[in-house]
Amino acid sequence: MDYLMKFIQKSLLKAEFLWTKQTQVQKQAKHLKHFHKKPSEQLLFQLKYRQLQQEQVEQYQKIIRTKQKIEAENPLRNKMYPEENFIDSFYSSQSEGFFDAKKYKLHTYRFKAFEQPPKAICVIFHGMNWHSNLLAHIAEDLAKNQIEVCAYDFKGYGKSQGLRGYIPDIKRHIDDAHQFIAEVQKIYPDKPLFLCGFSLGGLTAFHLGLENREKFKGIVFFAPALKDHPYYQRYPKIFGRFIGRLLPKMKVTPTNRGRSSAQRNKVVDDYLFKVDELYYKEGLRAGTLRSIIESMMDTEFLYHDFDVPFLLFQGGHDKLVDPSLASQLIEQSPSQDKQIIYDHNLWHGIPLEPEIDEYMKIVVDWIHKRV
C-alpha cells in the first residue's frame, strides 16, 4: 500500500509539473509582450528570474521548517464591528452547482468614522478561513482617524450563507466584490475610496484595482495571495488541484488541527481554534484550493499591468504566500506610487501579528496623504 501511494504521489507530481510548465509557457507567450522588451531582453529576464528561484530554494525550505512560535497579546482585543447588515439585501452571484438557483445572502459590516463626516472610505476584505470581525481592530484604527470602513463576509465564511469554506470560482467571487463596491459607492458617491486586503482579500483587491484603475485612490495589502509558495505542502496542493476538478466539495486537508501555519502567535492560535466559532476550522475543500492556487498562478503574470497606488506588507517567514512576490511586484508594477514594508520575521497572518499596531500608524498616514 505504501508503495502504491508513493507511486501515485510521484505520478501526480510529474503530471502536475508537465501541466504547469506548459501552462506557464503559454502564459509567458501571452503576457511577455506587455514588458516592451526585445526578444533578447525577454530571454535574459526569464533566465534571471529562474536563477533567482533556484537560489531561493534553500531559504524556502528553511522557512518551511520554522515552527517556533511566540506568545504575545492578541491584537484583536475582542474588537468587533459596531454595525452589521448595513446593506441588508446583498446576495452572492455564486452558485454551488449546475442546478443550484438559491440566492446566498452575504453579511455586511460597517465601522463609522468617530469624527463625521469621514475623509475617506476603506473597504476591507478578509482572508481565506477568516471573517470580517477578525479585522475589526484594523477597522477601528481607521475609524479613529476619520476613515469609514465597510466590509462583508465572503460567501461560505463568517456569517454569510453558503457551503462552509467553498469558493469554486474566483471570478464569481470577485464579481461579489465588484457588486459590494457598487453598493458602497451608492452610499458614499463623492468620497475617496481605498481598499485593504489580507491574503485572499489581497488577491480580491488586486483584481478590483486591475479592472478599475481610476476608481480607487490606493490599495493596502497584507500578505496578499498573489503568488503561491512553491515548497509548502506540495503534495496536498497537487492532490487538491487534481481532485478539485472531479470532487470540488471534497475536503483534502485535516479538520481542526489546533494550530495554523499562518500565525506566529500561540495566543492567536488558541483564540482562533478554541474560542472563535466563525473561524473556519474544517479541512480545505478541493475546489477552493484549486481555484485559489490557479488564480495565484495567473495573477503572477499580471503584475506589469497593475498601476494603482499601493502599500504592501510582507513577511519573510510566510509559508503560504511566496515572500518574493514583494520584490517581484515592486519591480514589475508600472505604478508610480508603490511602497513595500518587508519584515523577515513576520509570518503570513500579519493583521494578527504583534507588530500590527505600529503598521496601522503607517497605513493611516499613507491613506491621509492620498485623500
**Tens-place pLDDT, residues 126-174:** 999 999 999 999 999 999 999 999 999 999 999 999 999 999 889 999 9
Q: Which of 211, 182, 178 is nearest to 93 (CA)?
A: 178
DSSP-derived secondary structure for 314-368: EETT-SSB-TTHHHHHHHH---SSEEEEEETT--S-GGGSTTHHHHHHHHHHHHH
Contacts for 287 with CB less than 8 Å, ≥ 6 apart: 166, 167, 168, 244, 248, 249
| Residue position matching grid coordinates 529562474 | 50
Domain ranges of the chain: 56-368
Global confidence as pTM: 0.84
Nine cell digits for residue 104? 446566498
Helix (H, G, I), strand (E, B) or coil at 71: coil
Domain 56-368, classified CATH 2.40.160.50, yes or no: no
Task: Sort strands 108-111 and 120-125 into parallel, antiparallel or unpaired.
Answer: unpaired
Tell me what pLDDT residue 310 has.
Answer: 98
CA distance 141 to 123: 14
Amino acid, single-letter form, for residue 201: G
Which residues of the chain have a pLDDT value below 50? 1, 3-8, 10, 12-50, 52
Question: Could you read off the pLDDT of 302-333 as tens digits, one per residue?
Answer: 999 999 999 999 998 898 898 888 889 999 99
Tell me what pLDDT residue 60 has.
Answer: 62
Q: Which of 139, 96, 73, 57 is nearest to 324 (CA)?
A: 57
CA 346, chain centre distance (Å): 16
CA distance 262 to 233: 13
CA 164, chain centre distance (Å): 18
Beta partners for residue 321, in sequence order: 228
